[in-house]
Amino acid sequence: MDKANPQARKKSAKTTTNPQNTNPSRTENIAVSYYARADIQQAMFDFCKDRETVANFNNRFFAKRPDTFDYPSDILNQAKQGATSFHTSEEIWQNPLDINTDMTPEQYNQIKTGWDLLIDIDSPFLDYGKIAAKLLIEQFERHGIKNVGIKFSGSKGFHIIVPFKAFPKKIGDKLTKDQFPDWPRAIAEYLFKKIKDKMNNEILKLSSKEKLKEQGELVSEHLCPKCNQPTKTKTIGKYICPDIKCKTEVESMKSNRKEMLCPSCNGKMQRASQREIQYCKTCKINTAKLEATSSFGGIQQENTKQKFKEEITIKSTQDAVDIVLVSPRHLFRAPYSLHEKTAYASIPLDKSQVQDFKPSDADPLKITKIKSFMPNSIEGEASQLLTQALEEAQQNKPEQAPKKYDGKGVDLKGLTITEDMFPPIIKKLLKGIPNDGRKRALSLSLAFFTSLEFPQDYIEEKIEIWNSKNYAPLKQGYIKSQIAWSIKNKRLPPNYDKPIYKEFGITSPPASGIKNPINYTIRKAFQIKTKSSEKFHIKQKNKNEI
């Protein structure tokens, strides 16, 4: 490679040429003329300088990483080759082309000069995104940050940036530049907790609870006053003894019975009514039990309803602040880059423009005034935010539970399951998904793991590693919900005759007589157990003969 010739270097960074497209999208049709504008090139180049920046060829493939811009004209040259959008890093590097996937975190830090806090407001509804943006900007201002950049994502969300300059160079003996992604992730989580309740309240003003429930958007849960874990809704029946002399009243969770024996007179009690209560399986307490006593664990009767409070979550806001984006070498859409699905540009905005913004304002053919996405920050103005976010992260840090999985294997009714017994399809999926199919791969993997009764900590660790290898990681909220659901609703993976396997290049079972991935693994485990048993008996026989 010719190091003295950056243009030659950039050509060698591409591994795939643009395949022929007989039905180009609107984004493809306008990309070359749009990126030919000198002011657009300069704005993108200025922001992406010293960042890893990679071209996307209409979602068919990305340019080889690492890559970066050497000149503003690189943008047009790549657009002529079929590039439709450009994605850039939060991290800032001495030279992005020095990045190597074999580097350790310490080696990354040696060539990293800083990072910007990039908050990705990700929502399926633009109005929800506007609410989140408004509340986040308010939080920044309350923490002393007056200068933030904001831009339209190109679809239904917004990106908010706080430059590295705004943060202290170090806290204690830790250099701020070396604390990516832990510190920006702590800030993102801290901010989301700050705005969550207000955001839900604002959304409920736009749409009623009933409507959100109909849409499957509303998730409500009650928390146990003792362990603070989500409770289950149960039905309790009220039974009354018809004997005039007795008239005993009892509530029972076995409300499917129409009658029950009276504990006082041994007569038949009849069910008079039913109601829903909250029940904590861990603490074995319920709403009725707390209401019937004056005190439980220091909780007074008059405060029972308050303690069993309802916590409302709107599904579309669960990942309103996308934590996945705050991860090593994760890329986001560069300012003024086009969006493949909408053909809109990711344009920077003033704070005052957000609430009245319409996607059509980002029509690339109507852009006249260029604005910088990077605000003119004051050095250290984000110190208070960082300090408070780290303090809360430390307070909420969970205690490390001992690992249940020791890496040697999982015992399944006398069989020891190890990773070398996994079928080829699971081994292939765990290497990461290079294109479409991440959710289907996740579903298949979870069905496999839960059917074999792998412990939850193993599953979470394995899926986290898998997700980091994907061409684009899935959101953490989605993964957590899928893991939780799969553990509660165990099901076998589909048989090999289903079309899902062909999507991943598996056209036939790995061995004759194998109908399901589980069969393959259990057969392998049986073979190993049988061989071990035979070796043991031979050893014992030889020992007895001696």
- Summarize pLDDT for 69-91 with one digit per residue, the tens: 999 999 999 999 999 999 999 99
Handedness of CA 115, 117, 118, 122 (dihedral sign): positive
Query: Residue for token digits 């920050």?
Result: 377
Judge whether residue 213 has pLDDT over 70.
no
Greater pLDDT, 121 or 165: 165
Residue 316 — very low, low, confident or very high, per pLDDT cuts 50/70/90? low
What span, in angstroms and rounded, lies between the C-alpha atoms of 92 and 85? 20
The Cα 297–Cα 115 span in angstroms is 47
Residue 393 has pLDDT above 80, yes or no: yes
Mean pLDDT of the region 145-156: 94
Q: What confidence score (pLDDT) does residue 68 get?
A: 96
Q: For residue range 410-441, what is the model confidence (pLDDT) as tens digits?
A: 445 556 778 888 999 999 999 998 877 898 89
Average pLDDT, integer, range 97-121: 90
pLDDT at 352: 93
**Weakest-pLDDT range from 375-389, 392-406, 511-525:** 392-406
Percent of the chain with pLDDT over 70: 78
* pLDDT one-digit tens code per residue, 461-487: 899 999 888 888 888 888 988 898 888
Examine the pLDDT at 121 and tell me if it is beyond 60. Answer: yes
Q: What is the mean pLDDT of residues 177-197?
A: 90
| 3-class SS of residue 345 | strand
- In the prediction, which pLDDT does 478 show? 84
The answer to whether 501 touches 507, Cβ cutoff 8 Å, is yes
Pairing of strands 158-162, 149-152: antiparallel
Above 70 in pLDDT, residue 528? yes
pLDDT at 299: 43
Residue 251 pLDDT: 81
Q: Tell me which amino acid residue 492 is.
A: L
Give residue for tokens 């861990």.
282
Q: Mean pLDDT over all residues of the chain?
A: 81
State the pLDDT at residue 233: 81
Q: Is the pLDDT of residue 406 over 50?
A: no
Strands 259-261 and 249-252: unpaired
Q: Return the minimum-mean-pLDDT range out of 41-55, 209-223, 235-249.
A: 209-223
Contact between 192 and 318 under an 8 Å Cβ cutoff? The reply is: no
Among 308-317, 470-479, 535-544, which stretch is predicted with the lowest mean pLDDT? Answer: 535-544
Q: Which two three-digit tokens encode residue 249?
A: 């009243």
Q: What is the mean pLDDT of residues 190-197?
A: 88
The model's confidence at residue 404, banded by pLDDT at 50, 70 and 90, is very low
DSSP track, 197-246: HHHHHHHHHHS-HHHHHHTT-EEEEEB-TTT-PBPEEEEEEEEE---TTT
Contact 338, 29 (CB under 8 A): no
Query: pLDDT tens, 248-304?
Result: 888 877 656 788 888 888 888 888 888 888 888 777 777 666 665 544 444 444 444
CB atoms within 10 A of CB 364: 22
Other residues' Cβ atoms within 10 Å of the Cβ of residue 74: 23
Q: 70-84, 384-398, 524-538: which has the highest mean pLDDT?
A: 70-84
At residue 190 the predicted structure's pLDDT band, cuts being 50, 70 and 90, is very high
pLDDT at 338 over 50: yes
Give the per-residue pLDDT at 360.
Answer: 94
The predicted pLDDT at position 9 comes to 42
SS3 237: strand
